[in-house]
Each structure stands twice: as C-alpha cells, then as structure tokens.
C-alpha cells in the first residue's frame, strides 16, 4: 500500500532533480538490490508512465513528464461525427485519422501538438501508453472473394490483416476475437486469432461479445485447469478428524430453484432458557483454494461470479463451484460454521466460528418454503423439517423487527428477472420474489456477516469490511426535492440518519407506485464497497459488517475465510507482527480491486438485461402497452410499461403531437388541447422501434385516456 506510493514518490523526486533523461535500466539499478526488487521497480515505473507522471522515449530513456504544452497524455476519444480528439485541461486537440499511429479508441496516448501557433489544436499520436483493450471482436465474411473482417464494437477504422493460415477454418457469419499485436518501432497493426465466439445464430453471441469488450475472461486458463486435477471429488476421513462433526444435525440449504452453487446451509435449535442456537454453515472453499495458487489468483482476477439471464461466468471452476465446495444434499462437505446463540430480543450473546463438516439433509427452494410458511401448505418432503422452519421463521421475525428498529433501509424489491426459453431467447420479465423465505435467509446471512466482522475487529486484526457511507447531502437532497416536486408530501430532514431515511421509505411505500419513488431515492445514496477502514454500513444501520457467506461466488468472502484461517494459525507463531503487517499492506489493494470488479459485474448485468429486454420487445413492435411516466425532461419522456420495460418517447415524437416541454413545471403540455403529461401519469404507449446497438426501446403515444397516480397523504 503506502510503501509503494512512497517509492514512486522517491523515483519522481530523483527524476525532478536530475534534469536530463536517464536510461530505465540505470534507474532500476539505482533503486533495487535484487531480482525481485528489479521487477517491482519496473512495475512502479510503468505505473508512473500510465499515470502520466513520467515520459519514456523510444530509446527507453525516461524523464519527468515534460510540462511544456506540446506533449499531452490523455484518452483517445471520438465524437459523433467520427473525428478523433483528446482533452487537455481546457483544450480539445483534434487528430487526423492518418496521424493516429495505430492508436485505437479509448487507448491512453501521448499526443504531440503542432508547435506552429495557428495549428495549436491539432496533433498526432506520438506513443500508445496503454491499450484500452487489446482484444477486438469482428464478424467474418467474404466480400469480392476476399476475407473481410468487420469490427463489431465499431471503435476501429483500420484495415485488418490476418494471415491466411487462420482463415481457412472460418465460415462466413463467424464472430471472432482477435488480439492487437504491437510492434515497437513499426507502424503496422497486426492481429492474431484468439478464439471464435460462435456463429451469428448463437443466442448468446451478443452477450459473449459484450464480455470480451469489457475484458471479462470467459474460459479458465491452462494453469487453473491443470490444478483442478489435484482437487478431490469427495471428502475423505483424514480431512474430517480435526473438525466439528455436524453430519447428524438437521442442516439444509434454501435457495432459488435455478441455483447450482450452494454456499450456505442453516440449522436451528432452541435452548431451555428460550435462546436460539442458529448455525450458518458456509462452504470451506479455502480448504481447496490456497493463496498463491493459479485458482486463487484467477478468483482474485475475476473478483465475483457474473450472473446473466441464462448464463453464468463463475469465479471458480465448476468442479469447485458446483462440485466439492457446493453444499449439495446427502454428501459430506467441509464447512466453516458460524454458530450463534441469539436471545429472544435478537442479540447474539455467544458465538463460535469453527471448521466443521456437514451433510445437508435437503435442498429446499424459496418457492416451497414460502408455501410451507406463508400458505401453510403441508408439503410431504418438508414434513420432517416443518418444526425447524417454523422456529427459523420465529427467529427471522425477531431479527427483522430489530433491524427495522435500528433503521435498516429496505428499498423494496426492484430486481427484475428476465424469463428465457430453452434457446436463451427472452420471452418475458418478472419481478424477483422477495418473500418470507428469501428474507429469512437474508436475515440469517446478515447476522453471520456481522458476527464474523465483529469477531475479527474486536481482536484488533485486519479485516475486509463491507462499508456503506452516509448519503452525500447534495445528492439525497436532490432526490428528495424531485419526489417533492411531484406533489408527494415528504419532509427533508435536518440530519440524515438511517432512521430519517427509513421514515421517508415507509412513507413512500404507501404510495401506489412506490418502486419508482424508491428508485429515485436510491439515486441519492452512496454505493457500498470494500475497505480495510471500517466506517460501518449505513443501509443496514450496522457498525460492523463484512462479506463472509458467499466464498464460492465472491472473492472478498473467500479472502475473509483465508484471513480467519491465517489468524487461527498465527497465535502460535513468532512472526506474528510481520504477518499482520504484510496483511495490512496487501488488503487495501485487494479491497479496491474487488470494489471495481463488483461494479464491472453490475454494469454487465445491467447491460445484458437491457439487451434482453430489447430482444423481447422486438417481437412486440406496433403493440400497445399501459405505462407510467417516470421522468420528463427537455429530451422527452421516460416511461415504464406494466411489464417492467423502460423506454423513451422522443421529443420529436411529442412535438409532432403538439407537445412542448415546460421547464418551470417540468411537464409536457399541448397548448391547443391543454393536455398535460407529468411524472406519475398512467399513459398508453405503442412500441415504435427497438435499437439493438444501444439496447433501447422507443415508444410513441397511443390513443387512450391519462390517469394520474393516486397519492395517499
């Protein structure tokens, strides 16, 4: 962490003092004593170059990045007319296509501007510092008897030459991934073939293309595959002897009906004193995935599994995620158990976190558990566990009550699930259920996460916290102003606490279309992320929170398990402090990286959802839908149909119907008829067209009356 930054600072100070250029090899020698340090210094020099703090010329000499104005380091961008440019402070420097020097869109480049004063705003690419993405996705066809490669993520205007030895295996309509090969001093772009994504009829082709363009690895590398040979398919007796044996206990899993990897199992008992013993048993992935192995490093690189409609890109190979680490029913599995004694007020009065072995008695689904608990159905298979489930529900209600008291923010349920047919084509959208069973597991996992977080913190050991900051005051105030402007009577509190926002959420939940309002409120909140510096979790209203319960699909949880094991070993060790310091230094980087990977996964899931919705609506062009207006702006109207599709009515379409935007009232108004469209109005719309490039759906107005949302006071 900080020691690296200090080293970088030292290198910079040295270069600043030394006014002339210095060979990289010489610089490395000055700052390193052995091979390992050499690589570290080379990496730091590379980081400084990417940050634009130093400049390295073609002869591998470096100096502090020149402050004179004719060299600029920036990202290569392209405007809507297809012109390339870079930003520099306040200036825009345009670059002729012939002077791009093989740079591609979004690469970080050094641009040299013409020193003649009248051409100050033109330049040429002098050097490519970092490729945005070295992979390119192209469609292969034959035009005029010649192979033709058309870039799919249209960010490249260059001729693609690929040696003939590859082409004989392609069929027109294939989609290929190519890698850009950079030659140091030669102005030719070369490509090599990486993989074929499939043929144009493959339903997952767009999704795979998207993943490549976001630099997401789909397959596991050879090192990982080789290590899998040593991973067993079942638990053997040797591994069990030092573990708490819970195989005879009533332990089971509850998950969605399409889930294939089971991280967590639960168990419950009630003591004579009225306290509950809640067991949360988590797959012991670290038993199989040790630090510094290829599998561990690849998990760190991926950061999280990515779940896409009918497709998952797992963090760990299937042999682990659906096999030996998954808590499948009726087989022995190694676990790390967090066993908590909880009093009738929902306080954890006692706990232990211990290596264990379980044998899950049943794979339950949310759907069925809801039938048992909510609809009081007597399902045959569930009879042996009915008492356990009732007891769990009793405890779950106590915990939820306590969560609500302390100000837990429940943003309702805005998660959409795309329904696909067996070919992966979207056929519908539904809201994800979030009923008794889902809440029960959620409550238990939150409690286990909090308990583990406290356990590590109170021992004063480094930990990965899941933190959530207070909402930024301007953003949350804006969100509340928006809700207020729509005529909803909400008070803007003087101080924002979990409680005050919870009160607003409770108020909003009584309105007819509350998920739109809670989505607006959500835009005013901070994002949760991972950090070694604990500031607590605002949304859950907790002082201590970590992610511990999903080591199969999230790296922070796997890392926390790894730390917990490390700490258990440490007590007998002499190098205690050294190890702790090493962990202190490495963890912040891991936290930062994981927060970014989580965002990347969210973004991909969002884009794929939009793509799938566009695919779904293609077969409904010309049809009418009932909708609600969720946003009105000078650009037009945003609507959400009753089947959860978000789309737009363009200003052009509205103008043709005699509507104008009125900024003071934030409404669309037709002066001659007096008709008004505003936020919250029910409206009838027709699907006009679907844009598969940017995954958007355009609507036009359909003939029908407008109703306004009923607003309860």
Range ranked top by mean pLDDT from 191-205, 502-516, 549-563: 549-563
Whose CA is closest to 373, among 357, 389, 359? Answer: 389
pLDDT, tens digit, 9 for 90 and up, residues 238-273: 999 999 999 999 999 999 988 889 999 999 999 999
For residues 395 and 276, the answer to whether their CB atoms sit within 8 Å is: yes
What is the CB neighbour count within 10 angstroms for residue 684? 16
pLDDT band at 635 (very low <50, low <70, confident <90, very high): very high
pLDDT, tens digit, 9 for 90 and up, residues 689-708: 998 778 899 999 997 656 65
pLDDT, tens digit, 9 for 90 and up, residues 639-648: 999 888 999 9
DSSP secondary structure, 535-572, as one string: --BTTTTBS-----S-TTTBHHHHHHHHHHHHHHHHTT
What distance, in Å, lies between the first and last C-alpha atoms of the chain? Answer: 53
The pLDDT > 90 percentage for the chain reads: 54
User: Does residue 71 register a pLDDT over 90?
Assistant: no
Query: What's residue 152's pLDDT?
Result: 82
Query: What's residue 713's pLDDT?
Result: 41
Q: How far is the C-alpha of 329 from the C-alpha of 91, rounded, in Å?
A: 63
* Segments in 354-428 forming alpha helices (H): 366-373, 386-406
**Secondary structure (H, E, C), 144-201:** CCEEEEEECCCCCCCCCCCCHHHHCCCCCCEEEEEEEECCCCCCCCEEEEEEEEEECC
Instruction: Please compute the mean of the pLDDT values over residues 371-387 and round it to a whole number.
Output: 96
Query: What's residue 706's pLDDT?
Result: 61
Instruction: Please compute the mean of the pLDDT values over residues 433-452 and round it to a whole number.
Output: 96
In the predicted model, what is the mean pLDDT of the chain?
A: 89
Query: What's residue 338's pLDDT?
Result: 98
For residues 661 and 668, the answer to whether their CB atoms sit within 8 Å is: yes
Query: What's residue 186's pLDDT?
Result: 56
Query: What's residue 117's pLDDT?
Result: 52
Instruction: Pick the more confident residue, 387 or 478.
Output: 387
Instruction: Please compute the mean of the pLDDT values over residues 206-213 and round it to a whole number.
Output: 85
For residues 94 and 104, the answer to whether their CB atoms sit within 8 Å is: no
Q: How far is the C-alpha of 73 from the C-alpha of 92, rounded, in Å?
A: 12
DSSP secondary structure, 468-498, as one string: EPPPPHHHHHHHHHHHHHTT------SS--H
The pLDDT > 70 percentage for the chain reads: 95
pLDDT, tens digit, 9 for 90 and up, residues 671-690: 899 999 988 888 999 999 99
Instruction: Please compute the mean of the pLDDT values over residues 284-290 and round it to a whole number.
Output: 97
Instruction: Please compute the mean of the pLDDT values over residues 523-542 and round it to a whole number.
Output: 94
Q: What is the DSSP code (8-state) at residue 432?
A: P
For residues 466 and 556, the answer to whether their CB atoms sit within 8 Å is: yes
Residue 582's H or E segment, with its range, is helix 576-618
Query: What's residue 87's pLDDT?
Result: 87
For residues 453 and 548, the answer to whether their CB atoms sit within 8 Å is: yes
Whose CA is closest to 353, among 458, 248, 253, 272? Answer: 458
Instruction: Please compute the mean of the pLDDT values over residues 69-93 and round it to a whole number.
Output: 84
Query: What's residue 367's pLDDT?
Result: 95
Q: How far is the C-alpha of 198 from the C-alpha of 195, rounded, in Å?
A: 9
Instruction: Please compute the mean of the pLDDT values over residues 316-337 and round it to a whole number.
Output: 97
Instruction: Pick the more confident residue, 315 or 91.
Output: 315
Number of separate helices (H) and strands (E) present in the chain: 18, 35
pTM: 0.82
Instruction: Please compute the mean of the pLDDT values over residues 423-446 and round it to a whole number.
Output: 91
Query: What's residue 232's pLDDT?
Result: 96
pLDDT, tens digit, 9 for 90 and up, residues 470-491: 999 889 988 888 888 777 788 8
Phi-psi group of 622: left, alpha or beta (phi > 0 → left; psi -120 to 50 → alpha; rest → beta): left
Whose CA is closest to 426, among 203, 211, 647? Answer: 203
For residues 252 and 269, the answer to whether their CB atoms sit within 8 Å is: no
Query: What's residue 648's pLDDT?
Result: 95
């Amino acid at each position: 962490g900080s020691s690296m930054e200090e080293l970088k600072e030292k290198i910079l100070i040295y270069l600043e003092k030394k006014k002339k250029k210095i060979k990289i090899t010489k610089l490395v020698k000055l700052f390193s004593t052995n091979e390992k340090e050499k690589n570290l210094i080379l990496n730091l020099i590379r980081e400084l170059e990417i940050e634009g703090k130093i400049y390295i010329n073609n002869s591998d000499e470096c100096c502090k990045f020149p402050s004179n104005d004719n060299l600029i380091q920036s990202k290569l961008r392209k405007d809507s007319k297809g012109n390339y440019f870079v930003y520099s402070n306040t200036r825009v420097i345009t670059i002729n296509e012939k002077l791009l020097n093989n740079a591609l869109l979004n690469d970080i480049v050094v641009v040299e501007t013409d020193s003649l004063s009248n051409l100050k705003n033109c330049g040429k690419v002098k050097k490519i510092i970092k490729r945005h993405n070295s992979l390119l996705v192209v469609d292969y066809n034959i035009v005029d008897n010649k192979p033709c490669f058309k870039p799919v993520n249209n960010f490249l205007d260059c001729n693609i030459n690929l040696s003939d030895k590859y082409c004989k295996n392609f069929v027109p309509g294939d989609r290929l991934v190519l890698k850009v090969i950079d030659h140091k001093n030669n102005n030719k772009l070369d490509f090599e073939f990486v993989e074929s994504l499939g043929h144009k009829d493959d339903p997952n082709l767009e999704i795979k293309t998207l993943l490549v363009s976001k630099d997401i690895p789909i397959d596991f590398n050879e090192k990982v595959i080789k290590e899998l040979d040593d991973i067993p398919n079942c638990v053997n007796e040797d591994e069990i002897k030092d573990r708490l044996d819970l195989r005879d206990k009533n332990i089971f899993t509850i998950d969605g009906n399409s889930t294939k990897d089971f991280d967590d199992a639960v168990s419950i008992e009630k003591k004579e004193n009225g306290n509950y013993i809640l067991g949360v048993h988590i797959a012991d992935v670290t038993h199989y995935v040790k630090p510094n192995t290829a599998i561990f490093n690849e998990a760190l690189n991926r950061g999280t599994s990515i779940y896409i409609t009918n497709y998952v890109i797992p963090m760990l190979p299937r042999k682990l995620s659906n096999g030996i680490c998954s808590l499948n029913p009726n087989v022995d599995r190694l676990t790390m158990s967090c066993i908590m004694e909880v009093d009738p007020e929902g306080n954890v009065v006692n706990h232990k976190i211990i290596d264990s072995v379980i044998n899950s008695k049943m794979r339950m689904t949310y759907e069925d558990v809801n039938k048992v608990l909510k609809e009081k159905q007597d399902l045959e298979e569930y009879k042996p566990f009915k008492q356990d489930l009732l007891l769990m529900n009793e405890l779950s209600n106590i915990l939820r009550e306590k969560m609500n008291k302390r100000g837990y923010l429940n943003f309702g349920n805005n998660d959409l699930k795309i329904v696909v047919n067996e070919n992966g084509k979207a056929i519908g959208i539904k809201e994800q259920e979030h009923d008794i069973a889902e809440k029960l597991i959620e409550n238990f996992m939150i409690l286990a996460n909090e308990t583990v977080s406290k356990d590590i913190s109170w021992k004063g050991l480094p930990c990965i916290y899941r933190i959530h900051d207070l909402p930024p005051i301007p953003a949350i105030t804006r969100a509340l102003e928006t809700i207020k402007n729509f005529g909803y009577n909400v008070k803007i509190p003087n101080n924002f606490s979990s409680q005050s926002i919870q009160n607003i959420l409770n108020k909003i939940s009584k309105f007819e279309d509350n998920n739109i309002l809670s989505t607006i409120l959500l835009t005013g909140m901070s994002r949760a992320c991972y950090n070694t510096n604990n500031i607590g979790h605002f949304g859950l209203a907790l002082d201590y929170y970590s992610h511990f319960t999903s080591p199969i699909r999230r790296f922070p949880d796997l890392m926390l398990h790894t730390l917990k094991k490390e700490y258990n070993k440490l007590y007998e060790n002499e190098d205690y402090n050294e190890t702790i310091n090493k962990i202190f230094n490495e963890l912040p980087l891991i936290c930062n990286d994981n927060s970014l990977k989580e965002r990347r996964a969210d973004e991909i899931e969002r884009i794929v959802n939009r793509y799938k919705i566009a695919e779904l609506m293609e077969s409904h062009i010309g049809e009418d839908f009932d909708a609600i207006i969720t946003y009105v702006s000078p650009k037009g109207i945003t609507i959400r149909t009753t089947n959860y599709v978000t789309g737009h009515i363009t200003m052009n379409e509205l103008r043709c119907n005699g509507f104008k935007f009125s900024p003071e009232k934030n409404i669309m108004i037709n002066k001659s008829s007096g008709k008004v469209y505003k936020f919250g109005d029910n409206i009838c719309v027709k699907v006009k067209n679907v844009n598969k490039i940017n995954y958007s759906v355009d609507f036009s107005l359909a003939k029908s009356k407008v109703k306004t949302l009923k607003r309860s006071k």
